[in-house]
Amino acid sequence: MSLFNTEAVQLRVSRQGVEPLAPPPRPGALLDILISDALARYWILDRPAGLASAAELDAYAADRYAELFGDDPAGWVIRVDPLPGADRWLACALPTLFAVDLPRLAEEKGWRLRSVQPRFIREYNRHCGALGPDTTFCVASRESTTIGLIAGGSWRGIRVHPPLDRSAARFSTLLRRDCRQAGITDDGRRQQVVGSLRDAACH
């Protein structure tokens, strides 16, 4: 758990498990739960026609999740960012164990939960205001390399790769493959890379 440079304590969830959850320094202290992208599942959701409610969007996202991952969505918490005017939306699923059960345990211990986010979403929210309509946004961490592709103001692709210091492919190769799969070119795209291994993307 980290108290540095934040008004909230940060609890990290990695492949290795959850950091020890200490008692809060005072009742009601704020807690942010940060989940590794290696534990999250991302996909791009084509905007459906005729959605009448948030419940219909939730059902549509759950159906697409089951089709893409072959898994029961009941064990996952699914969130969609339905940007107005965009024809494709970013969707994310987190295991219920970390998105529901862990926050409940924290609140029972006296914490006040402020956020539960995977790393890519946290970093994107920090930088999205400075990103253009045709951008590659990458979070290069020690657990994963998450590459998100935005074209024409809409999400076009997102993939979670191994960390760059353990990848058999260079960042430029990963990006070229992802762009090809998304049906877009990697030429002339602005790149924004953040994270502890961001320098590895330049080599």
Are the C-beta atoms of 102 and 33 separated by less than 8 Å?
Answer: yes
Q: Which of 41, 38, 97 is nearest to 68 (CA)?
A: 41
Q: Where are the domains of the chain?
A: 38-92, 131-203
The reported pLDDT for the residue numbered 83 is 84
| 59-68 contacts at long range (C-beta below 8 A, 24 or more positions apart) | 61/91, 64/91, 65/41, 65/91, 65/93, 68/43
Helix (H, G, I), strand (E, B) or coil at 60: helix
The strand pairing partners of 168, in sequence order, are none
Q: Where are the beta strands (DSSP E) in the chain?
A: 9-14, 17-18, 30-35, 41-46, 76-81, 88-95, 112-118, 135-140, 145-151, 154-161, 190-194
Q: Is 147 helix (H, G, I), strand (E, B) or coil?
A: strand
Three-state secondary-structure class, residue 41: strand
> Residue 35's beta-bridge partner residues?
13, 118
Residue position matching structure tokens 């070119």: 185
Residue 54 near residue 79 (C-beta atoms within 8 A): no
- Nearest in space to 36 (alpha carbons), one of 91, 117, 109: 117
pTM of the model: 0.91
Query: Which pLDDT value is given to residue 51?
Result: 81
Alpha-carbon gap, residue 116 to 140, rounded angstroms: 20
- Homologous superfamily assigned to 131-203: ATPase, nucleotide binding domain (3.30.420.40)
Looking at residue 4, its pLDDT comes to 45
pLDDT at residue 1, rounded to an integer: 52
Tens of pLDDT along the chain (203 residues) come to 554 445 789 999 999 999 999 999 999 999 999 999 999 999 999 988 888 788 999 999 999 999 999 999 999 999 999 888 889 999 999 999 999 999 999 999 999 999 999 999 999 999 998 898 899 999 999 999 999 999 988 999 999 999 999 988 899 999 999 999 999 988 878 999 999 999 988 86
Please list the alpha-helical segments (H only) found in the chain: 54-69, 96, 102-108, 119-127, 171-182
Q: Is 66 in a helix, a strand, or coil? A: helix
DSSP 52: -
What residue has token string 């030429």? Answer: 187
Q: Is the Cα torsion angle 137, 83, 99, 112 positive or negative in sign? A: positive
Give the pLDDT score at 5.
Answer: 43
